[in-house]
């Protein structure tokens, strides 16, 4: 079974992905792939610099994530431009990793894809697991983790589909408002239901 793990920004996808890894499930991590495809001198990073200017680059040749983030989380048109450049490369590499895990005999693979619904990638997976969170808890965890102002954190949250839409499209939902142990219990229950554990 290919499981699509998604949710909203700072809802706890990485936290749940780590739990799944500890349960011996292989993970394809879209955020990590998104970092890999913009390595210094990569064609994707060159396109980003051609579009957003030299400020998108640090002097050591790595992408200036803060600068690009400020641009795209506040301006939908710029976000679309970045998505058009970077998403094809991300998709190709995610599918390569998924298929490699399957070829190597893994019965189940987890794909951690923050924008699964926004990018309409439902067809990449067999079942969709949404990590849900209440908006006030999400806001405070996001502000704390990324040291963001309330305004910047809200801009990031609003750049994604509402949680209610994602919950409706899910085969299973985990609520990550409490402590990690409560979340782990829900995860194990769901995976048993799906005959993954
Ligand atoms: C804009 C960038 C440079 C900001 O980098 P930063 O280190 O601050 O954030 P990070 O990459 O850790 O992403 C954090 C979260 O932001 C959200 N997010 C990232 N990109 C987007 C986007 N294009 N649209 C909506 N939400 C996004 C996701 O929930 C993601 O998990 C970076 O997120 C990026 O390259 N985004 C484009 C690639 C992408 O769409 N990634 C998301 C999943 S494939
Ligand atoms: N149950 C929990 N209790 C307390 N803190 C939590 C819990 N789950 C996650 N966190 C914290 O909340 C923040 C967001 O969690 P995490 O990074 O897993 O979210 P994410 O959905 O992967 O985020 P992103 O979309 O930005 O990649 C992190 O700082 C994490 O340590």
ipTM associated with this complex: 0.94
* Furthest CA-CA distance within the chain: 50
How much is the pLDDT for 41? 96
Give the global pTM: 0.94
Domain 1-26+108-197 has CATH 3.40.50.620: no
Please give the Cα distance from 162 to 8 (Å, whole number): 8
Question: Are residues 8 and 163 in contact, defined by beta-carbon separation less than 8 angstroms?
Answer: yes
Note the pLDDT of residue 2.
Answer: 98
What CATH homologous superfamily does 33-105 map to? P-loop containing nucleotide triphosphate hydrolases (3.40.50.300)
CA 61 from centre of chain? 24
Ligand 2 binding pocket (C-beta < 6 A) is 7, 9-15, 31, 114, 141, 145, 176, 179-180, 183
What are the extents of the domains in the chain? 1-26+108-197, 33-105
Q: Which long-range contacts (CB under 8 A, 24 or more apart) does 177-186 make?
A: 177/133, 177/134, 177/137, 180/15, 180/19, 183/12, 183/15, 183/16, 183/19, 183/131, 184/19
How many residues in total does the chain contain?
A: 197
pLDDT at position 77: 97
Give dist(CA 84, CA 187) in Å, integer: 33
pLDDT (0 to 100) of residue 44? 97
Residue 8 φ/ψ region, left for φ over 0, alpha for ψ in the -120 to 50 degree band, beta for the rest? beta
Q: Give the per-residue pLDDT at 124.
A: 96
Cα dihedral 189→191→195→197 (10° resolution): -90
Is residue 63 within 8 Å of residue 44, measured between CB atoms?
Answer: no
Average pLDDT for runs of 10 along the chain of length 197: 97 97 98 97 97 97 96 94 97 97 98 96 98 97 96 95 97 98 98 97
Would you say the CB of residue 30 lies under 6 angstroms from ligand 1? yes
Candidates 6, 14, 179: which one to mutate for ligand 2, based on the most atoms within 8 Å of Cβ? 14
Question: Which of 9, 73, 115 to mutate to test ligand 1, by most ligand atoms within 8 A of the CB atom?
Answer: 115
The answer to whether the CB of 186 is under 6 A from ligand 1 is no
Can you give the pLDDT at residue 80?
A: 96
164 annotated as a binding-site residue: no
What region, left, alpha or beta, does residue 11 occupy, with left being phi > 0 and alpha being psi -120 to 50 degrees? alpha
């Amino acid at each position: 079974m290919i499981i699509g793990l998604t949710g909203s920004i700072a809802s706890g996808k990485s936290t749940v992905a780590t739990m799944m890894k500890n349960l011996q499930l292989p993970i394809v991590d879209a955020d990590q792939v998104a970092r890999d495809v913009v390595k210094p001198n990569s064609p994707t990073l060159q396109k980003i610099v051609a579009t957003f200017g030299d400020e998108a680059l640090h002097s050591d040749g790595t992408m200036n994530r803060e600068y690009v983030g400020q641009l795209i989380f506040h301006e939908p048109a710029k976000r679309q431009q970045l998505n058009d450049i970077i998403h094809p490369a991300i998709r190709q590499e995610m599918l390569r990793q998924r298929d490699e895990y399957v070829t190597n005999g893994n019965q189940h693979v987890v794909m951690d894809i923050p924008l699964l619904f926004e990018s309409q990638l439902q067809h990449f997976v067999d079942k969709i697991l949404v990590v849900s969170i209440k908006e006030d808890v999400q806001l405070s965890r996001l502000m704390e983790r990324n040291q963001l102002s309330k305004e910047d954190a809200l801009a990031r949250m609003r750049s994604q589909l509402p949680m209610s839409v994602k919950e409706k499209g899910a085969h299973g939902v985990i609520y990550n408002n409490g402590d990690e142990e409560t979340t782990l219990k829900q995860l194990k229950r769901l995976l048993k239901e799906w005959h993954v554990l």
